[in-house]
Amino acid sequence: MTIDYETLRNWPFGDVEQTYTARDAMFYSLAVGYGADPVDTDDLAFVYEKTLRVPPTFAVVLGFPGFWARDPASGIDWVRLLHGEQGIEIHQPLPREATVIGRSRITRVVDKGEGKGALLEIERTIRDKATGDLYATLRQITFCRGDGGFSARGGMSDPAPPAPPAVPERAPDHICESPTRPETALLYRLCGDDNPLHADPQVARAAGFERPILHGLATWAVAAHAVLRTVCASDPGRLARFHARFTAPVYPGETLRTEIWRDGHAVNFRARVVERDVIVLNNGSATLR
């Protein structure tokens, strides 16, 4: 089994239509930690319909094309896939309910070499079905650990994406600690990612983990919540871009400490698990409006 550059660059994802309600948005917010303090009025705005705000990262669970890499035609060794990086560009805040169209395409296929794997860069746009308004552009880097060396057999390879910026060496300007609940992964999987790795202890142990781990995109959303409340006054309209690299898994119930550096509209961040002192998100960057 081997990947083919042209096949992947022209992969026929098809449009994905999804209707979400205010209840869906509120459930997502609760799953990633908004409302942990029910009398915090900033957080309450994301989990209470009276003055509902939708987190910018909610877009990541909209219009998702499914686990397409399992298709044998992709040539991908899907068992060895890793989610390497995730970014979002927010064009305008998501409404409290809408029908949206998710449109995905592979924008980069990079051969790192035989035995070194390959990188896929996947872009997904989220638009309003009725108006065509663009809400968000999502970009993810997927590391195909078992698929390097295809260009040596006559295939093409794109240049590697630019490396994300390192965080500053000075002490962070802000620190925000966010406890996760023991059932966080069980909640988040109901937002659309039902991989048993995040629920079934036997599956988790077979994958080399002591117990089910938290979804990377849930960790990513917890860090985004920390940035939003710390430097955006919990206003979704102030966050224009958010990006981070995944570096280690999180176990539900652990506490995330998001370290934040700000220089005007530019923000850098990373997140670590307090209990194990392990960095789980790194090279984080955000842009404010």
Mark whether 33 and 134 lie in a shared domain: yes
User: How many CB atoms are closer than 10 A to CB 149?
Assistant: 17
Mark whether 194 and 269 lie in a shared domain: yes
Q: Over 80: is that where the pLDDT of 267 sits?
A: yes
Mark whether 30 and 143 lie in a shared domain: yes
Query: Residue 195: pLDDT band by 50, 70, 90 thresholds?
Result: confident
Mark whether 93 and 191 lie in a shared domain: no
pLDDT of 152 reads 84
Q: Over 90: is that where the pLDDT of 29 sits?
A: yes
Is residue 169 one of the residues assigned to a domain?
no
Query: Residue 1: pLDDT band by 50, 70, 90 thresholds?
Result: low
The pLDDT tens digits of the residues spanning 135-171 come to: 999 999 999 988 998 888 777 999 999 999 999 999 9
Mean pLDDT score across all residues of the chain: 95
The pLDDT tens digits of the residues spanning 80-100 come to: 888 999 999 999 999 999 999
The C-alpha R_g of the chain, in whole angstroms, comes to 19
Query: Residue 187: pLDDT band by 50, 70, 90 thresholds?
Result: very high
Is residue 165 one of the residues assigned to a domain?
no
Mark whether 149 and 183 lie in a shared domain: no
Mark whether 149 and 179 lie in a shared domain: no
Question: What CATH number is attached to the domain comprising 223?
Answer: 3.10.129.10
Pairing of strands 81-90, 134-144: antiparallel
DSSP one-letter string for the chain: ----HHHHHT-----EEEEE-HHHHHHHHHHTTTTSSTT-HHHHTTT-GGG----GGGGGGSS---SGGGSGGG---GGGEEEEEEEEEESSPPPSSEEEEEEEEEEEEEE--TTT-EEEEEEEEEEETTT--EEEEEEEEEEETT-TTGGGGT---PPPPPPPPPPPSSPPSEEEEEEPPTTHHHHHGGGT---GGGT-HHHHHHTT-SSPPPPHHHHHHHHHHHHHHHHSTT-GGGEEEEEEEE-S---TTPEEEEEEEEETTEEEEEEEETTTTEEEEEEEEEEE-
User: How many CB atoms are closer than 10 A to CB 30?
Assistant: 18
Is residue 164 one of the residues assigned to a domain?
no
Contact yes or no for 102/58 (Cβ under 8 A): no
Mean pLDDT in residue range 118-130? 97
Mark whether 193 and 270 lie in a shared domain: yes
Measured CA angle at 78 (ends 159, 14), to 5 deg: 75
* Domains identified in the chain, total number: 2
Q: Over 90: is that where the pLDDT of 264 sits?
A: yes
Mark whether 148 and 180 lie in a shared domain: no
What is the C-alpha separation between 95 and 81, in angstroms, rounded? 33
pLDDT of 153 reads 75
Mark whether 121 and 193 lie in a shared domain: no
Which of 118, 153, 188 corresponds to the end of one domain?
153
The pLDDT tens digits of the residues spanning 197-248 come to: 999 999 899 888 999 999 999 999 999 999 999 999 999 999 999 999 999 9
Which of 106, 121, 153 corresponds to the end of one domain?
153
Is residue 100 one of the residues assigned to a domain?
yes
Mark whether 192 and 146 lie in a shared domain: no
Is residue 220 one of the residues assigned to a domain?
yes
Q: Range of 259's domain? A: 174-288
Is residue 141 one of the residues assigned to a domain?
yes
Mean pLDDT in residue range 22-26? 98
Mark whether 137 and 19 lie in a shared domain: yes
Measure CA 161 to chain center. Answer: 17
Please provide the distance, in angstroms rounded to a whole number, between the alpha carbons at the two ends of the chain: 46
User: How many CB atoms are closer than 10 A to CB 237?
Assistant: 12
Which of 86, 119, 153 corresponds to the end of one domain?
153
pLDDT of 198 reads 94
Is residue 19 one of the residues assigned to a domain?
yes
Mark whether 123 and 182 lie in a shared domain: no
Is residue 196 one of the residues assigned to a domain?
yes
What is the C-alpha separation between 36 and 34, in angstroms, rounded? 6
Please list the active-site residues.
193, 198, 213, 216
